[in-house]
Structure 1
């Protein structure tokens, strides 16, 4: 059984503008997306839609298990719509709970919506690019203090720099890492490409590697006993390189019984040519949404750290590879709560909710 099917057109040549649902003809491709309850994951295929025959033919053979994922983490039941005013296609999704039912009842709510994302077909024509809608930037308030020696290298083998000056439990962090060399990249058997989650568990943020891991520690306690790591690691595949992106929740909470998975996916970038990679992470208390390589790989996670009940969270840039990495860009912003229109019997009234979604049990 498939849930929440979605069939929509995209421009064939990597244009970021969206298309009306009725678009067809030259220069138009189509995307078929399905949500599969057996895995609680969303899959999609790029292909061709024949309006006369009412048939969709994917570019690549195989069933949904060989299709690409909308998100490599904790995201399900996504749907899109065409925003005609801004000529873009926008995706919303459900981020369900992974904590216990008893905790849901104690909080008084369960489940939430993801941040809204604009999406389009990349220039290669094989995968979607997803990026937070620009309106989220209007919630930015304070920018964090610059790192000491910003633009300099983050030391290898446990290098750590704290980002200060903002409330980092509700934040928008945009960072670019430059890699000085790929010579220490670890070799990877091509068979390991089939299960990036397992590779992320094995090569976690605390495991020192060659080129990486490097990235962010978010929702971290002051003593680092609790933290969620969002990071990259570069591997060598025969005569080329591949970039693994992970969100490691293994140390996200010290509470017994909390679900602490490790999510991962590979990022379709030419790291040998670019020698740099970008990461944007949106943090909203129990949800962490990350966009690697300009939105080519997306990972959503739910985190339930215990330290938030009695203290504040911290944010760090880290490197645990054999070589230092350079932070060529770092823009961390504290985010305000969103003002949302709520429809009641008396018309539209304004209300303040946590970020861009409401939560109910």
Structure 2
């Protein structure tokens, strides 16, 4: 029989099984998202034949005050390669990622750690943040993601629903599939659109390098902004006017909202400002932000944005931080959508 909620579990807080994996004892395992009071947890079930499932005595992992864990995910990642790792692999060259869509926030949060297969427990790495403070797949509109595996990569995609008040209905969408791997520090995931996306490119426009001073407006002709794959990189030559990061700045989204997307601290702050995305004030105009772990002294700053009509997915620092936004322009639609590069620099 399939895993079912027991008497002490509210059946409405018991859903979204992960992809099953096979342990070294030849038993299948699967986790299911749940909530007991305000504790979020991932129940663990085992099976010998993939038909009859028995609940383990303890969850794979739990976190107080985090609320319901929807669409949990649990998978290994390589510590020395970007290639995908089979879901049953356990070893010294792998770490494990536990992800949950935390309904209280709502965000897709993840923790990096190790999997004790003997005790069937997930152990977060020392210093990692749990629950609603954990790292996020995406710092914009991104929820209910799931991973997949093939021989080339571990990847993921998400579903998200948003109420459009003008149309008075739920607008759903799926994000572009992303490859997932550990960054060189081993402390966070890097995400990047799968290479197949580049086959959708139809017309290429190259802009020459340019020295930017003050406010620069750079129209980009030859393409429509309704659908575009935009990559930009730049180097910083002087840091005298760069704003020093205040230790009290712990909420990048709030910081972007207060200072605007042109904040001087953009060396470490990635913003997605929807404030001017539509003339219709009924549409959501939330400003999103994420701290970007880059070293502008020794590496270029880069940004890639995939634009598909109402969806904008941005990847900063080669995928170290991602922000997905939903925009509903009133006038800039289809061929009336134009691309303009605006650089604000002090």
- Using the size of structure 2 for normalisation, the TM-score is 0.77
Shift of residue 74, structure 1, vs aligned partner: 0.4
Aligned with residue 151 of structure 1, among 189, 196, 209: 209
What is the CA–CA distance in structure 1 between the aligned matches of 2:227 and 2:168, rounded to whole Å? Answer: 21
- Paired residue for 1:33? 99
Q: How many residues align?
A: 278
- Paired residue for 1:301? 325
Q: Are 1:42 and 2:108 an aligned pair?
A: yes
Q: Is the 8 A contact 1:104 1:110 kept in 2?
A: no
Q: Are 1:185 and 2:242 an aligned pair?
A: yes
Q: Deviations over 1:289-337 (max 9, x none)?
A: 0000000000000001101358611112221121xxxxxxxxxxxxxxx
Change (3 A) 1:110 1:12: same
Shift of residue 49, structure 1, vs aligned partner: 0.3
- Paired residue for 2:260? 204
Q: Is the 8 A contact 2:224 2:339 kept in 1?
A: no
Shift of residue 83, structure 1, vs aligned partner: 1.4
**Which has the higher relative contact order, 1 or 2, with Cα contacts under 8 A spaced 6 or more apart?**
1
What is the CA–CA distance in structure 2 between the aligned matches of 1:36 and 1:166, rounded to whole Å? Answer: 38
RMSD, aligned α-carbons: 1.7
Q: Is the 8 A contact 1:4 1:34 kept in 2?
A: yes
Secondary structure at the aligned position of 1:278 is classed as strand
Q: Is the 8 A contact 2:301 2:317 kept in 1?
A: yes
What is the CA–CA distance in structure 1 between the aligned matches of 2:246 and 2:212, rounded to whole Å? Answer: 29
Q: Deviations over 1:125-157 (max 9, x none)?
A: 00000000000000000112x44xx2112331x
Q: Is the 8 A contact 1:154 1:318 kept in 2?
A: no
What is the CA–CA distance in structure 1 between the aligned matches of 2:147 and 2:334, rounded to whole Å? Answer: 39
Q: Are 1:288 and 2:312 an aligned pair?
A: yes
Shift of residue 99, structure 1, vs aligned partner: 2.4
**Map of 1:111-122 to 2, 5 A cutoff?**
111-122=172-183
Secondary structure at the aligned position of 1:198 is classed as helix
Q: Which has the higher strand share?
A: 1
Q: Larger radius of gyration, structure 1 or 2?
A: 2
What is the CA–CA distance in structure 1 between the aligned matches of 2:339 and 2:291, rounded to whole Å? Answer: 24
Shift of residue 164, structure 1, vs aligned partner: 1.0
- Paired residue for 2:69? 2
Q: Is the 8 A contact 2:74 2:99 kept in 1?
A: yes
Runs of 4+ in 1 over 4 A off after TM superposition: none
- Using the size of structure 1 for normalisation, the TM-score is 0.74
What is the CA–CA distance in structure 1 between the aligned matches of 2:130 and 2:82, rounded to whole Å? Answer: 28
Change (3 A) 1:197 1:98: farther
Secondary structure at the aligned position of 1:255 is classed as coil
Q: Are 1:262 and 2:249 an aligned pair?
A: no
Shift of residue 188, structure 1, vs aligned partner: 3.0
- Paired residue for 1:94? 159
Shift of residue 65, structure 1, vs aligned partner: 2.1
